[in-house]
Each structure stands twice: as structure tokens, then as C-alpha cells.
Structure 1
Amino acid sequence: MATKPSLNNEWQAFWLAVGFLTRIPMLAQINYSQRLMNKSSLYFPLVGLLLGIIYVVAFTLFSLVASPLVAIVLVLIAHLFITGAFHEDGLADSIDALGGGYTVKKRLEIMKDSRIGTYGTVALVMALLLKVALLMEVEHIWLALLAAPAISRLTPLLLMATLPYVTDPDKSKSKPVPDEFSNARLTIAAAFVLILSATLSFWHPLLIIGTLPAVLLVALCWGAYLRGQLGGHTGDALGASVVFSELVLLMFL
């Protein structure tokens, strides 16, 4: 009798993750709670895979009428629209704060500012340009578009599990995710990413090799920097980690 409520909770958690990370309409009635939001983090890589499938379909269609470069740019535009530039916004805010603040308090204040500064603008433009350039160099563009969104969304889960949350919880839209983060669900998410990576390595052997650096290397380096500069992580810093992980993975590919 307990199985049905449990499955229903997981179904809601999945769609809550979809609604949190994207603009895709949630096809389920959500009984929102902080506990359910905590559980939804398990599905971040799965939401990434869903996005990857959308990007592959879009790239295939765009390639029928445009060059690979134009198709990639159009896919990137679609990505920014579907996700609301969620992680890119986190990158810009993080770099603005870490580049312009001289104390932890000031950095956190800058990070909460909705305006974008020079550091954030430069970081955002360079990240998008590098992503386009790397995708143009990849042997199988469709494979990169499919795998990168899923693999990169494991990195923020590692940061949530290993670093304290430092933003004022009453002012953060990301507050519910880090609270009471489950290491057991992190293990499941990591297993999903590794299985996906191993399966897709049939087309590109370096994918499984690049997965660990893309996740672990970024989590270690970015996490150590955040601990030193902020004392922990913020929602914006988690978003930035996704962008960094995608770029590292694409470099390997």
C-alpha cells in the first residue's frame, strides 16, 4: 500500500525538478513542500537528459536548412529560452560577485543584485562563445548536445553534498534544494550519469573518460574556490558549476 504514494512522490519530484530547471510546463499536480524539493535534486541529471534530447532534435531540424554553425547557435538560443538562462545567470552573478567583492558580505550582496556587471558580462559572453567553438570541433555534435546537459547537472549535487549553504535562505529561490540533501540520492544520480556516459561511449570512447574530470575536477576546483571566497556555495554558484562542467566535457570531446 505504501508503494503507490512513494511512486507518486517521485513522479511529483521529477516534475518539480523540470519546473525548477526549465520553463517546460509541469505535467503533474505538485503538492509542494521543502521535503519534495529536496527529493527533486535526484532528477537534475535526468532533466538534463530530457533537455539533451530536445537539443538533438532541434539541431537535426535546423541542420536541414542551415550550416552546422548556424544550427548550433540556434540550438543555443533555444537552450537559453527553454532554461530561462538559469545557469548562465548564475555564472554571471557569481563572477560579478567574486570579481568585485572584497569581503564575503560584499560578495553575497553583489550576487543578489539583479544587474550584471563587467565581470559577469565578459564571463557570460566568453562562455557562450567557447561553447559554440567547442561544439563545432566535436566529432559527433549530437552526442555532445545529448550528454553534456545530463552529465554537467551532477556537479551541483556534489557541491550541495560537500559545502554548506551560505546565502540568506529567506532571500533565495534555491533555498529548498540544499537543505537536508540526501547522499543516497546523490549516489543514485551519480550511477545514472555514469551508466549514461558508459552507454554513449560506444560512439565516443573519450566520453566516459571526460565525465569524471567534468564533474569531479570542476566540483573540486570550483568548490575549493567557493569555500575560500564565500565559505560555502550559493544557488548562483551551483548554476555556474553546470556551465563549467559542460565546457570541460566538451574540451575532452
Structure 2
Amino acid sequence: MKPIIHREWQALWLAIGFLTRIPMLVRIDYSPQLMNQCSVYFPLVGLILGTIYAALYIALMHFWSPLVCLVLVTGFHLWITGAFHEDGLADSLDALGGGYSVEARLRIMKDSRIGTYGTVALVVALGLKVALLAEAQPVWLALLLAPMVARLAPLLIMGHLSYVTDPDKSKSKPVADDFSNTRLALAAAFTLMATLLLTGFQGGILLWSTVATLGTALAWGLYLRQQLGGYTGDTLGASVVFAELVLLLGLASL
């Protein structure tokens, strides 16, 4: 039992290190298998991030207006995650907007330069995110929930599509290899229970959480299958941004 607990503890910290700039406080016995196992903890890492964002927002509210606080929290988010998912959004939109074949799209996606499609997508996504957070009530709850709920969407895509990029040049390939539906079910169950507990079993928020995860995974996944024949690490990052925006649209409407 102890080795299993130790390995899961390492998988959690590996997920934290993979998705954020938070220093890993434990020694990791890295392996592709452990990298694959860590994916189940992506929603938990999102909850940790959401807790930090909500606490930071509440603290900043003592000094500045809500809008200024949200911009500062968004800037902190970009720093602590290394703009990991936003980079995936920009690369994905550049590739899908500018490529006329699967090969061209994959080639553009690997280009480190950002183009018009990626730039516009980032500006719109970040601006819309701040605007929707400003409309959500309470703001701290939206900041808490969105990172957790959104990080289930890429796991759903991984569970139902094939990986299509060069495995030798991919950072996320070990995560995708032989992705376990059992771990997907565990991540989904955790996200569901955490959402229910944090919101006091509010049906409207649960509905929008479901739309954000299943809806984003279905719509984005079908589009990726048509355009690429599967997914890449960048498109998984884009799915997190899309899922957050869908959830925030719902919370703002509530």
C-alpha cells in the first residue's frame, strides 16, 4: 500500500510541476508511466490554482477596484502557469487558421512564432475572461471553480481521440500514451464532487460545469478530428481556455 501512496504522491507533484511554475517539493522518480499517471490530478491542480486566485483576489480587493484586481489576478495566472494553455490556444488557432492540409497545420503549430490568428485569439480570450469574471457573482467562486472544471476537458479529449504529432518532439506525449479511462473516470468523479460541495449543490452551476467540460470536449474534439485527425498538446491547452470561457459565460448568466 505504501509504494502505491508514494507513487500517487509523486504523480500529484509531477502534475503540479507540469502545469505550473510551483516548485516541486518532493523528489520525483520520473518515468513516462508516472507522467501518464499524473493526468488524473489535473483537476486537483486546477483547484489548487483556483484557491490561490480566489485568495489573491480577496486580498487585492482591500486596495483596488474589482476590475483592477481581476487584471492583476489574470496576470498572476499567466505567470504562475507560464501561459501554458494560452500558448496552446495561440499555436492551435494559428495552425488551424493558416494551414490548408494536416501536414501544414502541424508544421505551423510547432512554429514558436505567433501569427495574426493566435494574437487575435489571445486578446479576445483574455479580454472576455476578465469581462466574464467581472460579471460573475460571487467572483471568488468563479475564480475557484473555473481552473478545476476546465482541466477536465483535455482529459475527455485524450480519452477519445488519437495523438497526432511527432512523439520525439512533444512535451505532452508521455501524458497521452495509453491514457487510462479508469483515471479519466476518477478525475471526472473528483471534479463533479468538488463542484457540488463547493457550490452547495447548485444545479445551475453543475449544469454549466457539465456543458463546459463535455460540450467543449465534444465540439472541439470533433473539429480537431476533422482538421487534424486527432489532438496535439497545443490543442489540449486550447481546450482548457475554451472550457473556462464556456463555464464563465454560464456563471455570468446566472
Shift of 1:203: 8.0
In structure 1, what residue type is equivalent to 2:7? N
Tell me what 1:56 maps to.
54
- Does the Cα contact within 8 Å between 1:200 and 1:207 map onto a contact in 2? no
What is residue 21 of structure 2 aligned with on the other side?
23
> Within 5 Å, which residues of 2 pair with 1:134-173?
134-173=132-171
Task: For residue 204 of structure 1, report the CA deviation from its aligned partner.
Answer: 5.2
For 2:239, the equivalent position in structure 1 comes to: 241
1:44-83 C-alpha deviation (Å, 9 max, x unpaired): 0000000001101110111110000000000000000000
Aligned match of 1:45: 43
The alignment's C-alpha RMSD in Å is: 0.8
Please tell me whether the aligned partners of residues 154 and 215 of structure 1 are also in contact (alpha carbons under 8 angstroms). yes
Instruction: Tell me how far apart the structure 1 counterparts of residues 53 and 168 of structure 2 sit (CA, whole Å).
Output: 35
| Aligned residue number for residue 76 of structure 1 | 74
Q: Counterparts of 1:203 and 1:133 in 2: how far apart (Å)?
A: 26
Change (3 A) 1:225 1:208: same
CA deviations over 1:22-60 (Å, ceiling 9, x no partner): 000001100000000000000000000000011011101
Give, as a single letter, the amino acid of the residue that structure 1 aligns with 2:227. Answer: Q
Deviation at 1:201, TM superposition (A): 2.5
Contact 1:97 1:111 in 2 (8 A): yes
Question: Which residue matches 1:126?
Answer: 124
Q: By how many angstroms is 1:95 displaced?
A: 0.2
Cα shift at 1:198 = 1.1
Identity %: 64
How far apart in 2 are the matches of 1:36 and 1:101?
Answer: 34
| Equivalent residue letter for 1:26 | M
User: Partner of 1:188 in structure 2?
Assistant: 186
| Unaligned segments of structure 2, at least 5 residues | none
Distance 2:31 2:200 in 1: 40
Residue pair 2:94, 2:117 contacting (<8 A) in 1 also: yes
Alignment: residue pair count: 251
**How far apart in 2 are the matches of 1:89 and 1:161?**
22
Task: Find 2:207's aligned residue among 206, 209, 215.
Answer: 209
Bigger shift: 192-201 or 176-185? Answer: 192-201
- Runs (5+) with no aligned partner, structure 1: none
Quote the Cα distance in structure 1 between the aligned partners of 2:20 and 2:167.
22
In structure 1, what is the equivalent of residue 102 of structure 2? 104
